[in-house]
Structure 1
Amino acid sequence: MNNINIRFRKGIRFFSVVLLLGMTSCSKDYLEIDSFGSPVVDNFYKTPADMEQALTAAYNPMLEQYTSFGQVWSSDLFMGDIGTDDIEKGGLSLADIPLLLQKQEYTLTTNNSYLNFRWDIQFRGVLYANLVLDNIDQVDFTDANRKKEIAAEAHFLRAYYYFNLVTFFGGVPLYDKALPYGKADIPRASKAQTYDFIEQDLIKAIQDLPSRFTKPSSFQGHADKGAALGYMMRVSLYQNKMDQVKLYGEELFKLPYELVELNTIFQPLGEWSKESVFEINYSSNNSRLGTSVPKQMMPRTPSGQGFGFAQIKQNLVDEYEANDPRLDAFIFNESSVYGTGHYNKKYSWKPYSGYAIPTIGGQLNSDQNVRLIRLADAYLMYAESIYNTDAPTAIQYVNKVRTRARGTALPTVVPDLPPTLNGQALLDAIYHERRVELAGEGLRFQDLIRTGRAKTILAPLGFVENKNEVMPIPQTQIDLSNKILSQNNY
């Protein structure tokens, strides 16, 4: 919602010709315009301003992921969590958007175009980040510190895009530099190699990124040290590297983050609050710099004016304890053309939140920021990492989240976990807390996968073990790679 997003988008059209350097997934049309691209590349990367523009381009795919139709439907908020015990496809009918229905019913095909959107967006992000890293040393900077920051942001972005790939597809081709089209077809790395690549980028980002708390508000939207630490916690958690989760969590907690009042987190006032570890900036204007997430999720009613996708399941509603204020803070009910009638208040408009329905640029152009990591998530990741080695401290961190949820209510509302809780009972309490606190934030599917619970919880919904943990590699990408890319178990 801040103006940094507008700056991020300026110059994208010009800079996108750098994509001509290419990598896997390029087409014949791509080659036909090589002669136009080379002079632009040769004349670029000359000044610090060029590198700022190059970095701007590297952020663009991050924003694109949550914009219109196919792009947003390929995100964790939709293709990610649809088909879990939390999220139902919704829409106008069962047949509405059959490519999302494939995820809900675990009948994904290799020709699902939303998976191709996911692949394409992330690899363009990887390419743009690589172009920054490939060229930054040839530019003379008067501000050596900013040079380090730009490189660190590019390392963060490359890690971010690869994380979005490995969670959907498993191991993917690893590019540590931009390659010419004819040399870009390389095999997939293993899942472990992909995660190692991500970790190495995040280590570099953590080393050189500043904290946003030391920067002016105009820095908001840039990756900072807290964002890199938060993602390192998540990356480590997904690999069950609990010692690393603990290590990086303790570094994150040295920064001045704080939990904020429950009803402000997903409001305009909550954007870049002290609870926000990282989020994506959007703005609503004639340039259509907004997100389509609220439009996709709001009810298909005159008051909702949405499309009614990613509805909340009754199973999730029933998970909340009696009188838990988070139920009303995070979920609202409205008559539904089709689906459960439970909607995600975290991404909504008035009267369910303080965000107004966009009046310019179309209703797919919301100015609501997308929250990617917040402190409550970090607290719960940390608690999970130490539950078996330091139960009392794990309980303290879970109770921080529960105390915030309770607010000014009596201690009997969302009561603190008892200090004697330990073992599986404590782990189950942490799982419960993650589910009700992070509901509708695109994390449920991966939480079930990484903890081995998907085979039990999702099997009645069609999930097949040793298959549906990842999604098919888009057939389009396999064909474009001259069959070098191998398929998952589909």
Structure 2
Amino acid sequence: MKKNQSIYLFVVLLSGIVFTACNKLIGIGAPKNQLVTESVFKDTISIEAAVLGMYSKLANYNPGTDVGTATSLFNGLSADEGYYFPGTFYDDFKNNALTPTLYYIDGYWSNLYNVVYTANSIMEGAGAAALPEGYKNRVMAEAKFVRAVCYFYLVNEYGEVPLVLTTSVSESNVQPRDNVGKVYDQIEKDLTEAQAMLPSDLRYYGGNRTRATTWAAGALLARVYLFRGKWSQAGAAASTVIGNPGLFSMQPDAAKVFLANSQEGIMQFVNAIPSSWMATNLGASAAAVTPNFVLSDSLYAAFETGDARKANWVGIKVYGGKNYPYPAKYRYINGVGAVEHAQLLRMAEQYLIRAEARTQLGQFTDAAADLDVVRKRAGLGNTTANDKPTLIAAIEHECRTEFFCEWGHRWLDLKRWPGIANPAVTRADEVLGKEKGTLWQSTDMLYPVPQPARNVNVNLTQNAGYTN
């Protein structure tokens, strides 16, 4: 116990050094303190604290706008998943009327780059430290995995972004945006290298799923391949994860999917802020009169009769004589509820990735079989889809009801899929143009580059559709 307490205290103290140094990255001014690599990364205890701090920052930093909660909330509002009930606080997202000066846009950008800086500092510090080679390679691989996570969301939310691979703030503060392909190439490189160095089981992590493994790197790599249209690689990567030696599998009970160390979890964030903030920002406590986030009518209607996801992942609040459905995947609030971990990567996605890849490759029977694995857990019968058009529609439907209000899946999918009626536009244009009318513009698919960052870094250009 004393050892754990000491490590926790060191994480807190180290966070004050590392995070203060990096919270000015990418056009937010010069840092007041610079990380002293030699003293911070002098032994395995200190490097372990730095790595735990990196995960903590990705999951827990700035409650309410931490990466997981912000992605789920902001992207859900930007798409067609629902609206914020208590007032107009997040209407800029719901109405796709974001501006470069909006606090949350700046906070989201800054949080992601702060974690990138921390990952870079770990790679530089561990690389220069006198550490056992196997341990050094593993923690550097964890940092590469986390950096890849950050850049995946940066490039999908903002488009072209500066690809920062160093801790030099003087360099990053004048660095222009890199094209999307270059950023994705680095994501693939980081994940491929991490996959080769990360552990293939959970023994290093005490049996917990809260740190990266080779399977987590492979799972994210499968998603990246899918987003880039590399169908064969996406299917193969997903198959590798699905064929893991008994470490991960579909959780047959929908009510247990989001519990700590659920067998479905490939990569989770430890309980506390991620779960409780997901619950409070996207859901409702038992004592709350109204929910915070209400599901859209179209999403609520998308659930088929008997779908266990609707029964277990959707709550209802009655207010003013009307039912308001809300996301209830997470229910842990201030010590009340089951112990949960926030899911970053889980097995259901791997089956749906492989289903989409197989559909694009013309392997329709196998694609339908993958869909049926997910539908079976939901208590539904096998899909009737049997060709490319019907399978594409079925995959979209299944992704919507499986991943609603979860890490921006719906928002990112709509933006990458071509339109069904008109492949010359995106599925976002078709769906959100109908859902939101004149509030929707094609340029809304990318968030604005925050103005505070551009005020410092004059080389940061703005996305189309934004005046500043």
Normalised by the length of structure 1, the TM-score is 0.84
- 1:282 matches 2:271: yes
Partner of 2:422: none
The residue correspondences of 1:46-445 to structure 2 (distance < 5 A) are 46-64=42-60, 68-71=63-66, 75-90=70-85, 92-93=86-87, 95=88, 97=89, 100-142=90-132, 144-181=133-170, 184-215=173-204, 217=206, 219-255=208-244, 256=246, 257-266=248-257, 270-283=259-272, 291-299=276-284, 303-305=286-288, 308-336=291-319, 341-348=324-331, 355=332, 357-359=333-335, 368-388=340-360, 389-406=362-379, 414-418=380-384, 421-441=386-406, 442-445=408-411
Match of 2:11 in 1: 11
Measure the CA separation in 2 of the matches of 1:474 and 1:234.
27
* Unaligned segments of structure 1, at least 5 residues: 349-354, 407-413
Aligned to 2:423: none
Query: 1:340 & 1:230 partners in 2: Cα distance?
Result: 37
Q: Which residue of 2 aligns with 1:351?
A: none
Q: Report the CA distance between 1:240 and its aligned residue.
A: 2.2
CA distance in 2 between partners of 1:213 and 1:41 (Å): 28
Deviation sequence 1:158-211 (CA, Å, 0-9, x none):
101111211110111111121143663200001111111111111111111113
Structure 1 equivalent of residue 444 of structure 2: 468
Q: Structure 2 counterpart of 1:358, which letter?
A: N
Q: 1:147 to 1:437 in 2, by over 3 A?
A: same
Counterpart in the other structure of 1:448: 414
Alpha-carbon offset, residue 110 of structure 1: 0.7
CA spacing shift, 1:335–1:225, aligned 2, 3 Å: same
* Rounded Cα–Cα distance in structure 1 between residues aligned with 2:209 and 2:311: 29
Shift of 1:312: 1.1
Q: Shift of the alpha carbon at 1:77?
A: 1.1
- Mark the CA change 1:73 to 1:58 in structure 2 (over 3 Å): closer, same or farther: closer
- Aligned residue type for 1:113: Y
Structure 2 CA distance for aligned equivalents of residues 8 and 337 of structure 1: 46
The one-letter code of the counterpart of 1:372 is: L
Shift of 1:340: 6.7
1:249, CA displacement in angstroms?
0.7
2:460 counterpart of 1:488 = no
Indicate if the aligned counterparts of 2:164 and 2:172 stay in contact, CA closer than 8 A: no
Using the TM superposition, give the Cα deviation of residue 289 of structure 1 relative to its aligned residue in structure 2, in angstroms: 8.5
* 2:268–2:342 contact (8 Å) kept in structure 1: yes
Measure the CA separation in 1 of the matches of 2:9 and 2:431. Answer: 41
For the Cα contact (< 8 Å) 2:216–2:267, is it kept in 1? Answer: yes
- Structure 1 residues 443 and 182: alpha-carbon distance in aligned structure 2, compared to 1, 3 A threshold: closer
Residue in structure 2 matched with residue 20 of structure 1 by the alignment: 21
- Whether the 8 Å contact between 1:312 and 1:340 is mirrored in structure 2 is no
1:367 to 1:275, Cα distance in 2 relative to 1, 3 A: closer
Distance 1:372 1:43, change over 3 A: closer
Q: Is the 8 A contact 1:9 1:56 kept in 2?
A: no
Task: Label 1:60 to 1:213 Cα distance change in 2 as closer, same or farther (>3 A).
Answer: closer
Q: Which runs of 5+ in 2 are unaligned?
A: 418-425
Residues 1:180 and 1:88: Cα distance change in structure 2 (over 3 Å): closer
TM-score of the superposed pair, with normalisation by structure 2: 0.87
CA separation in 1, counterparts of 2:251 and 2:8? Answer: 28
Indicate the residue corresponding to 1:352 in structure 2: none
Per-residue deviation, residues 73-95 of structure 1 (Å, max 9, x unmatched): 972211111132222222x23x2
Superposed displacement of residue 141, structure 1:
2.3
Residues 24 and 195 (structure 1), Cα distance of their counterparts in 2 relative to 1, 3 Å cut: same
Tell me the alpha carbon deviations over residues 238-274 of structure 1, each in whole angstroms, 9 at most, x when there is no partner. Answer: 222222211211211221221112333345xx32222
Give, in whole Å, the separation in 2 of the partners of 1:112 and 1:366: 35
- How far did 1:68 drift? 2.2
Alpha carbons of structure 1 residues 43 and 258: separation in structure 2 relative to 1, 3 Å: closer
Contact 2:267/2:345 (8 A) holds in 1: yes
Aligned to 1:410: none
Aligned residue type for 2:29: S
Deviations 1:310-359 (A, max 9, x none): 321121111112222221122121124799711112022xxxxxx4x425
CA distance in 2, matches of 1:6, 1:424: 57
Please tell me whether the aligned partners of residues 317 and 323 of structure 2 are also in contact (alpha carbons under 8 angstroms). no
Aligned AA for 1:404? R
For 2:322 and 2:235, the matched residues in 1 are separated by 40
Instruction: Give the deviation of 1:465 after TM superposition.
Output: 4.6
8 Å CA contact 1:123–1:161 kept in 2: the answer is: yes
- Paired residues, what number? 447
Letter in 2 for 1:87: G
CA–CA distance in 1 between the matches of 2:5 and 2:358? 37
Native 8 Å contact 1:81 1:87 kept in 2: yes
Q: Which amino acid aligns with 1:381?
A: I
Whether the 8 Å contact between 2:11 and 2:50 is mirrored in structure 1 is no
How much is the aligned-residue C-alpha RMSD, in angstroms? Answer: 2.9
Question: Deviations for 1:270-326, whole angstroms, at most 9, x for unmatched residues?
Answer: 32222111111123xxxx7874221223337xx343873332112111111222222
> Contact 1:5–1:281 (CA<8 Å) still a contact in 2?
no
8 A contact 2:282–2:327 mirrored in 1: yes
SS of the equivalent of 2:84 reads strand
